[in-house]
């Protein structure tokens, strides 16, 4: 079955840039989204259609795709960015989530 | 303001059924598909199913197929998820989430989540 692979954890210092990767077979042919989930809260859509930001999402959050890997980049990382981040795509009619990456702001 | 408000916490025994509701407001209910996503304690997000309120068409994950019923009530602007034959591994927070309508647009509005605990 189709799978998306993310690193379980990523650490970054405040003010630095964090990158979280998500890989999957033929991902270059699929639309991808990213979600942020703060502890105890519902997920929030950060990125859709690979690189687009919904209104209200800060410009510090961006995404890019190269081959079978999509990368979420958070610039000027702040303490409030500490959360779990999930990538998501579709495999035919099945929605697939990555396993999630816990971002720690040290 | 678009809102999805879900029903409250449920505690069930193995073999029971559970029904979770999702009350929507602030948008045209029939115009957007509704997804259901769950999250087991300490685990990641898992897609459960999808319903098109306009025509009642549904899709569901293989893991819950045969046990999941998704419904929509267009008069009340509500979506429902019913899961039968509950097992311990169904213990999770269940979310309803609105489809953004754009191709590859993701889920742009989420409910607050409903905790379902299955325990003998």
Partner-chain contact B107 A32, CB within 8 Å = no
Digit-coded pLDDT (tens) for A83-100: 999 999 999 889 999 999
Residues of chain A in Cβ contact (below 8 Å) with chain B: 30-33, 35, 37, 42-45, 47-50, 54, 84, 86, 88, 90, 93-100
Give the model confidence (pLDDT) of B60-107 as tens digits.
Answer: 999 999 999 999 999 999 999 999 999 999 999 999 999 997 877 899
Between A and B, how many residue pairs show a Cβ–Cβ distance under 8 A?
Answer: 65
Q: What is the pLDDT of residue B14?
A: 98
Question: In this complex, do A43 and B59 lie within 8 Å of one another by their Cβ atoms?
Answer: no
List CB contacts (< 8 A) between B46 and chain A. Answer: 97
How confident is the model over A68-80, as a mean pLDDT? 97
Q: Which residues in chain A have their CB less than 8 angstroms from residue B37's CB?
A: 43
Kindly report each contact of residues A68-71 with a partner whose C-beta sits within 8 Å and lies 24 or more positions away, as own/partner. A68/A23, A68/A24, A68/A25, A68/A26, A68/A27, A68/A28, A69/A21, A69/A22, A69/A23, A69/A27, A70/A21, A70/A22, A70/A23, A70/A27, A70/A32, A70/A34, A71/A19, A71/A20, A71/A21, A71/A22
Residue-wise pLDDT for A18-53, tens only, equals 999 999 999 999 999 999 999 999 999 999 999 999
Chain A's closest residue to B105, CA to CA, is: A48
* Closest in B35, B37, B104 to A49, CB measured: B104
User: What is the average pLDDT value for chain B, to the nearest integer?
Assistant: 96
């Amino acid at each position: 079955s189709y799978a998306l692979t993310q690193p379980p954890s990523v650490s970054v210092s405040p003010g630095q840039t964090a990158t979280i990767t998500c890989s999957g077979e033929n991902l270059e042919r699929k639309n991808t989204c990213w979600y942020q989930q703060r502890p105890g809260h519902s997920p929030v859509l950060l990125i859709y259609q690979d690189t687009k930001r919904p209104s209200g999402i800060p410009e510090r959050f961006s995404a890019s795709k190269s081959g079978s890997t999509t990368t979420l980049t958070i610039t000027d990382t702040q303490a409030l960015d500490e959360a779990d981040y999930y990538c998501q795509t579709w495999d035919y009619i099945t929605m697939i989530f990555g396993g999630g990456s816990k971002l720690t702001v040290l | 303001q678009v809102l999805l408000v879900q029903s409250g916490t449920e505690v069930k025994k193995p073999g029971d059924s559970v029904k979770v509701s999702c009350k929507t407001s602030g948008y045209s209910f029939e115009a957007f598909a509704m997804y259901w996503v769950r999250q087991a304690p300490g685990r990641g997000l898992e897609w459960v199913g999808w319903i098109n309120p306009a025509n009642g068409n549904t899709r569901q994950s293989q893991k819950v197929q045969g046990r999941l019923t998704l419904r929509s009530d267009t008069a009340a602007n509500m979506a429902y998820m019913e899961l039968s034959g509950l097992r311990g591994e169904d213990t999770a927070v269940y979310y309803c989430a609105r489809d953004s309508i754009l191709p590859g647009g993701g889920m742009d509005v989420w409910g607050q989540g409903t905790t379902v605990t299955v325990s003998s």
